[in-house]
Structure 1
Amino acid sequence: MKKVWKSSAFLLVAATMFLTSACGSSSPASTSGSASPAATKAAEAAKPADKKIVLGFAQVGAESGWRTANTKSIQDSAKEAGIDLKFSDAQQKQENQIKAIRSYIAQKVDAIAFSPVVESGWDTVLKEAKDAGIPVVLTDRAVDSKDTSLYKTFLGSDFVEEGRNAGKWLVEKVKDQKGPINIVELQGTTGSAPAIDRKKGFEEVIKSNPNLKIVKSQTGDFTRAKGKEVMEAFIKSAKAENTKMDVLYAHNDDMALGAIQALEEAGIKPGKDILVISLDGTKDAFTAMKDGKINVIVECNPLMGPQVMQIVKDVVAGKEVPKRILTKEGVFPQETAEKELPNRQY
């Protein structure tokens, strides 16, 4: 009787082991029937590489031709790179950008890129992105945060150097002139990196010539309409004070073009009666320069989309990237306008 019980117990244990083994082979991790646990693990690890990168991009707005070209470059390049782009237009309001960035964090995107409306006030939201493990790339404009770990890199122009280049051209242009040379300045959006830096670089250089003096300086908010409005006020003030405006230094093309319209309506010939210096390098500005209305353009290249997408791919992959990446740009005096105009892509 004991022998029979022992035999039965042995058969029961064997059957249980067989059933357990059979259940294991039918689990989701082994549905192919031939994949080993190691192979299955490797296949799962490979999945993220095939996953489409999701990028949240918070744009400043559409305040200028330069910005429109920058947006198009970002959108076209994302499509070409196979990146899923979530795009927002902040309409030049910081609160809208912060709201968009928080939305991207909530959506758990793979990376965030943005062009800050102004330099300050970003630490809190950037820390939220860092805590969520989402890398941030700054494009076109910088932030003034002391904690540089809040972003991976900053891709854009050297705005101070752009201001210096504008100043160098002017100093050389008027080196033989005697007496005071009055400059009126159209600044970009107050508090923005390009407005701060382009002013700084320009002033740094022109102080070498004591005849050069900025007599009026006001923001035109980087728009054509505001540039025209402020220039009209400058003209009215100059007439009332019986002073001459010798140079216009505009922080971007759209403000310069608006100012040109105001000058012409007042019977002043831009490019002749008053030297016009502009920054960016849009097709409209080169057309105006070809027509003799702008004397020099310092380029600021908006077509940074391909660089942005490569940087995003690298940071998502965990690669180290330089903290500061510059775009290539040039200085174009009036005599180059006709030759260069066909090369303008924006």
Structure 2
Amino acid sequence: MKSNRIITAAAVAAGLLFAATGCAKPLDDQGAATANGEGTEQVVESASEATCTNPAPSDKELGDMKIGFSQSENEQNPFRATETASVRQSVEEAGAEFVYTNANSDQAKQLSDIQSMINQGVDALIVAPISATGLQSAFEAAKSKGIPVITIDRETAGEPCTDFISFMGSDFERQGERAGEAMIEALGGEGSVAELQGAPGSDVATLRTTGFDVAVKDAGGIEIVAQQTGNWATSEAQEVLAQLLSSNPDIDAVYTHSDTMALGALTAISQAGLTPGKDVKVVSIDGTREAVGHVASGDIAAIVETNPRFGPAAVDLLAKWFAGDEVAQEIIMKDELYTEKNAQDALDSGRAY
């Protein structure tokens, strides 16, 4: 994991705690989140010491700007739907014009989408990249027009302060480690695990695999007997796990890189005549409402959260950028761990999406 992931005094002083409503909230004297009763806060866990600064601050008000958002995937995925709603709400609450595109997992379309928004005269871009590479030409086009870019939820190739001004997201390797720790607890330290991975080439999938591997290897009694992609899809994960359970009926648990795949895994387990949570343990990453409901009922052992509500943080950072203030090149959000003990609270508070 990256060594520059530390909370700086400047980050704390700037109040880098963002609520889903678009209101920034400060940290208290102990650095704890100030509660707002909604349970949906996105809290900064660390901010890099390295910063970027706008060389030509603007006198233009954010409310007079046009802000584009390039979404990467179909919004049937609850993470994507919540993410888009958060960005849209925050941009519109700031008084700015919201310009939206969705690449539907098509890299070429995301490139053309970004170019289209540049042609429409956006003042800033928020981009949820499809993959770890492939957006360099889009970044070059934005740079040539003096348009700042924030990347969210997935890291992509490029130089901070040159190709984009900041990345906001989770520590994906740490998410994998936490999933591994939850799996160790669920299995009592021993068992065979099938891993359903995200899309090949995704930095998220790679890091979630790495972190999980590190955690379970340290335990010693857990063996990963299969690693196959489910491409973040419910139906594909169901099909893959059905085949794995048929060829290896001794699988004790399943680790999925997303809740969409966890739901497919639950179906495959049930159709194999097994009981999720009893015969086969499931650990996932995301925090969608449907999946967290399965944690509350005991079907899923644990879920490592990925909070998709980036809107307030992204809009706040753009305001700082245009004002000429320093902005952190990397901002890592804090994620919860949902177990049977707190899953119902996450559902009741609205934090599970």
Q: Give the aligned partner of residue 226 of structure 2.
A: 216
| SS of 1:334 mapped into structure 2 | coil
Question: How is 1:1-346 mapped onto 2 (pairs within 5 angstroms)?
Answer: 48-49=60-61, 52-61=64-73, 62=75, 64-145=77-158, 149-175=162-188, 177=190, 181-238=191-248, 243-345=249-351, 346=353
- Between Structure 1 and Structure 2, the one with more helix by share is 1
Aligned residues between the structures: 295
Distance 1:214 1:53, change over 3 A: same
* 4+ runs deviating over 4 angstroms: none
Which structure exhibits the higher relative contact order, with contacts defined as CA atoms closer than 8 Å and separated by 6 or more residues?
Answer: 2
1:200 aligned partner, one-letter code: T
| SS of 2:308 mapped into structure 1 | coil
Larger deviation, residues 74-83 vs 308-317: 308-317
Which sections of structure 1, spanning at least 5 residues, go unmatched? 1-44
Write the distance in 1 (CA, Å) between the matches of 2:295 and 2:169: 25
TM (norm. structure 2) is: 0.79
C-alpha contact 1:55 1:113 (8 A) present in aligned 2: yes
Write the distance in 1 (CA, Å) between the matches of 2:222 and 2:246: 21
C-alpha contact 1:186 1:251 (8 A) present in aligned 2: yes
Q: Give the aligned partner of residue 10 of structure 1.
A: none
Cα RMSD of the aligned pairs, angstroms, is 2.0
| SS of 1:55 mapped into structure 2 | strand
2:294 aligned partner, one-letter code: A
Larger deviation, residues 207-216 vs 109-118: 207-216
TM (norm. structure 1) is: 0.80
Larger deviation, residues 60-69 vs 80-89: 60-69
Aligned-pair identity in percent equals 33
Write the distance in 2 (CA, Å) between the matches of 1:164 and 1:171: 10
C-alpha contact 2:70 2:101 (8 A) present in aligned 1: yes
1:228 shift after superposition:
1.5
| SS of 2:162 mapped into structure 1 | helix
Write the distance in 1 (CA, Å) between the matches of 2:252 and 2:350: 29
Larger deviation, residues 141-150 vs 188-197: 141-150
1:253 shift after superposition:
0.7
C-alpha contact 2:216 2:222 (8 A) present in aligned 1: yes
Distance 1:183 1:102, change over 3 A: same
